[in-house]
Amino acid sequence: MGKCMGFLAAGVILLLLIPSALAYNTEGAEITINTDGSAIIVGSYQLNLGEYIAFKFTPGKENLLKDAIEQKLGRDVTVNYMNDKEVSVTIPSFAKVDKTENKTSYKTPKLPYNEIGNYMDNFLKDNPVLKNFSPDASMVVPHKTVIIFPDGYSVTYEKPYLNGVVLPVTH
């Protein structure tokens, strides 16, 4: 019995130490623009067993995510929830709101997916314990990005993104 438990423990340790870059997969990002210009962003993803275990046992992952986003954006964000399938974040002042007498328009920022690799490299320098569980940057870019405006109008983009970015959208 002790050998069996030792074998299982060794197996779990190996799963945690083997880089799992090919397993992680970001399925999509849904960006819902609110009337005040804030956005609720829900990202969905798949984890392999090693990533799932690392996810479950990583303390303070919500704060790591919050700090990383705030550092990049230079403003406060809220992590609404984070589980092993998706994450939801609220970003204030995400879209520029332009109100006139008869209408309101919203302009989203450019989404520079092509910068994810550099950002991940810098983030992992500050958080080396996560390096074994970090996927290749191309796997972090969502396969589909949907932007939904307050009136229900939506725009959908899919990989490959032109020049690695989603350009600003005005509606």
Domain boundaries, the chain: 2-164
Cα 8–12–15 angle (5° rounding)?
140
d(CA 46, CA 4): 29
Q: Which of 158, 155, 136 is nearest to 147 (CA)?
A: 155
In order along its 171 residues, the chain shows pLDDT tens digits of 443 333 344 444 434 444 444 456 788 999 999 999 999 999 998 888 877 887 888 888 888 888 888 887 888 999 999 999 999 999 999 999 999 999 999 999 999 888 877 777 777 777 776 666 666 667 778 899 999 999 999 999 999 889 989 999 999
Q: State both tokens at 2.
A: 């002790």
Cβ-based neighbours of 143, under 8 Å, separated by 6 or more: 25, 26, 27, 28, 158, 159
User: What is the pTM assigned to this prediction?
Assistant: 0.80
Q: DSSP class of residue 134?
A: P
